Amino acid sequence: MGTKENVDLVRRFYAAGPADDDSSRADFAVPDVVWHVPGASAVSGRYEGYDEVFQVIGDRMQPLDGWTIDVRYVMGNEAMVVAVVDLVARRGTHRVESRGAHTFRFAPDGRIAEVWGFIEEQNLLDALFSS
């Protein structure tokens, strides 16, 4: 796949449904997809496969009162795409507003193979997940 196809796939990935429901996103990834969640919380770590990536991560994030990702920029090359996003997360009295990013690596068939997450306010997000 080329750059345009990869960028378009990432845009469709984000548009597939609300940010707190990943069930409609599995078709965008290979079965052994890997997702890296940064930080030092119960959510942080390396996840592999549909169940871990599209179910376990979300389960570990709960309870949430809000989780919104607004895509600002998407750019790429043949094998990788970076999406710059704004995140708003709420749990009880904790609220995090931060710029973040996801870096996507693609499998030869054009599906997502691996993703790395980044966030400016990691300490605040860790505190939210620890509350």
pTM for the full model?
A: 0.93
Average pLDDT, the chain: 93
Q: Are 13 and 112 in contact (CB under 8 A)?
A: yes
Nearest Cα neighbor of 102 from 79, 118, 124 is 118
Instruction: Dump pLDDT digits (tens) for 23-78.
Output: 788 899 999 999 999 999 999 999 999 999 999 999 999 999 999 999 999 999 98
Which pLDDT score is estimated for 17? 77
Going along the chain from its start, the domains and CATH numbers come out as 3-129 (3.10.450.50)
Which pLDDT score is estimated for 21? 67
Residue 118 binned pLDDT confidence (cut-offs 50, 70, 90): very high
